[in-house]
Structure 1
């Protein structure tokens, strides 16, 4: 590749194209922008804007909008000004959640606007091949229902349990059978002509809450994915913190540090551990505790004490402004007050603690955000070059 210099015209055209495209994308809903609007918003000259817009129309990313019906032009002022819009429908992104009991696929256009959702149930003992087949089925369902062709996809994001390496391989997973060592990105990439990006599920949920959930407007966040195998995702300065090996936030492994009791033992009301993937059983224990069952209340108290200690350790290390708790659909509200009290005891400045506002959709929405981030990087850094 040749060296780019400050006077390189191709670089300048790419920069100008990116600036104009960003301005148009920020107004995906009517009213569209005129050349005069774009000159004002970008600071570029009118001839430059006109040339860039023509190039973006050729790429299919921008379209000229017809004049509004019923609004005739003023004969004293000539014909109405031409208006342009970003074509959000020029491509799509997909977010996929892979869980112990279900898979979900969320489709959106290039502005992140929802275009459809599909889910499929899976069995907790299903092998990797069966689970991946259900993932493909959910993806096929949402594409078919929305009428979006597969080649319209610009990127696919995936949220998965386990420690996920940079190449999309699951380095370690105790949650799903046959998941450790699975080259997940490679297996799914065979079904697409676009990039497939895989992220840990708690990390994906942290991205989701920051995008459109309880952490909007907050850049230092810990998201706790509570369950029988708890994990956490962290944002530092608005950026996801994965750690050197992608294992940051694995608080589910803290029991190895001299504490033998696992969450499935702590939440047991019978003396026998809960099945490792039986999250519905966890929800039932929480429901019994809310109704005053003594054994369930004791079990929940044991679990909450462990969870708040683990979260407190993470908070002391990262000093977030906000802790968001998510996971099971019911019962989590009982964790908030004990967690707040514990953090007040241990932290010089305890963070706010909130319940996830996205609930069961957080992982899939975060995977969608992952795909959208990748697509935006490509749009603004590469696609604009087509305007040359």
Structure 2
């Protein structure tokens, strides 16, 4: 007679074996059953049973055998990255960018809409939904094929995905942005601050791939910071970690205000600075000093390995001339100044970080021990 405890242990072991097989399949690309069993640390028979479970769930498939060998080629199997998709959005004051990615994080569609910064919240949300659904239509992905969606936006966003404070987007404060995004696709929805998501993107596939402690500086329409420690995003108790705008003595200035007062556009300013114009160099130094003072607060607090600078000023031609002055000011302000690097990305960094956050949710579900097959629960 089988006791309840033994039955439970057997089911748990089966689920853990399936999890190990899935992890090995995702890491290793197309593999034979023997290779997969070795990578998962399982017997061939156990890996075969787990692979059958994954195939039934639509997460694995057989691929053509590798050529070149004598005799009958071994069957090979691969993870199905197209089994599901995730959506990532950047919903900013002046732009909405939506991207759709497969389960490997590879972008399969994107859609951009320029918007007026005074656009009311309801209309902005409608355009964001249009951009997101346009991506799904372009990629031929049905509504149920999007397994998670994340939106990035300016302002303070709490852990539930609600915007608790927004000074840049009309009607945004109090918005349950995560809930809105999830309803568009009938899937789990998430939301986060734009600078935080840009930091996530840099750590995933950008300039911070090889570091675990990172301060990200977002420049442009507004300045902001993202913070990763031990490879994990840190947003604080209320989501306001890194919001230094009201901290005295940080030297915080909005770049848009500084440029407007000087009557200059960012691209023209940096071009003049590279040509050696003294007034332009002084203005670039002023911008760099403010950005460095804000970053130095976080640098002094957490002593990161790297500071990444991204956003509109860097994309707008600032590049190295701005970073050079930020490095110089940080060297004066910090006991042990970290390396300062430009962002790898253009305007897509926030949307890519949103994709990564959505993938994190999906992967947690995929990697969780499965329910018994008889329960009928999906991997999502």
TM-based fold match above 0.5: yes
- Greater RCO, CA 8 A, separation 6+: 1
* 1:347–1:5 Cα change, 3 Å: farther
* 1:290–1:84 Cα change, 3 Å: same
What CA distance in whole angstroms lies between the structure 2 residues aligned with 1:296 and 1:386? 66
Per-residue CA distance 1:270-296 (angstroms, 9 max, x = gap): 58xx9xxxxxx5445444544566655
Contact map agreement 1:202 1:233 (CA 8 A) in 2: yes
Q: Which residue of 1 aligns with 2:90?
A: 97
What CA distance in whole angstroms lies between the structure 1 residues aligned with 2:250 and 2:351? 34
* 1:360–1:264 Cα change, 3 Å: closer
Per-residue CA distance 1:148-200 (angstroms, 9 max, x = gap): 22211111121111110111110111121111111111222221221111111
Q: Which residue of 2 aligns with 1:278?
A: none
Q: Which residue of 1 aligns with 2:17?
A: 16
Residue 301 of structure 1: CA displacement? 2.9
Residue 387 of structure 1: CA displacement? 9.1
* 1:95–1:382 Cα change, 3 Å: farther
What CA distance in whole angstroms lies between the structure 1 residues aligned with 2:316 and 2:256? 17
Q: 2:63 aligns with which of 49, 59, 65?
A: 65
Contact map agreement 1:223 1:324 (CA 8 A) in 2: yes
Query: Between Structure 1 and Structure 2, how many residues are aligned?
Result: 369
Contact map agreement 2:182 2:190 (CA 8 A) in 1: no
What secondary structure is seen at the aligned counterpart in 2 of 1:253?
coil
What CA distance in whole angstroms lies between the structure 1 residues aligned with 2:104 and 2:144? 18
Residue 227 of structure 1: CA displacement? 2.5
TM-score after normalising by structure 2: 0.89
Does residue 1:301 correspond to 2:301, yes or no? no
Does residue 1:339 correspond to 2:319, yes or no? no
Q: 1:314 aligns with which of 298, 310, 317?
A: 298
What CA distance in whole angstroms lies between the structure 1 residues aligned with 2:186 and 2:49? 31
Q: Which residue of 2 aligns with 1:36?
A: 34
What CA distance in whole angstroms lies between the structure 2 residues aligned with 1:336 and 1:260? 17
Q: Which residue of 2 aligns with 1:369?
A: 356
Residue 344 of structure 1: CA displacement? 1.5
Does residue 1:138 correspond to 2:124, yes or no? no
What CA distance in whole angstroms lies between the structure 2 residues aligned with 1:39 and 1:103? 45
Residues 345-356 of structure 1 aligned to structure 2 (within 5 Å): 345-356=332-343
Residue 128 of structure 1: CA displacement? 0.9
Contact map agreement 1:165 1:171 (CA 8 A) in 2: yes
Q: 329-338 or 260-269: which moved more?
A: 260-269
Residues 1-388 of structure 1 aligned to structure 2 (within 5 Å): 8-28=9-29, 32-67=30-65, 74=71, 79-254=72-247, 263-270=255-262, 281-290=265-274, 296-328=280-312, 329-333=315-319, 334-383=321-370, 386=373
Q: 98-107 or 182-191: which moved more?
A: 182-191
Structure 2 gap ranges (5+): 376-380
Contact map agreement 2:32 2:75 (CA 8 A) in 1: yes
Contact map agreement 1:103 1:121 (CA 8 A) in 2: yes
Contact map agreement 1:221 1:324 (CA 8 A) in 2: yes
Contact map agreement 2:90 2:151 (CA 8 A) in 1: yes
What CA distance in whole angstroms lies between the structure 2 residues aligned with 1:260 and 1:344? 18
Residue 266 of structure 1: CA displacement? 3.1
TM-score after normalising by structure 1: 0.87
What secondary structure is seen at the aligned counterpart in 1 of 2:292?
helix
Per-residue CA distance 1:237-292 (angstroms, 9 max, x = gap): 111111111101113333x5596965444333458xx9xxxxxx544544454456
CA RMSD in angstroms comes to 2.6
Per-residue CA distance 1:202-237 (angstroms, 9 max, x = gap): 000001001111111111111100124211001101
What CA distance in whole angstroms lies between the structure 1 residues aligned with 2:190 and 2:84? 17
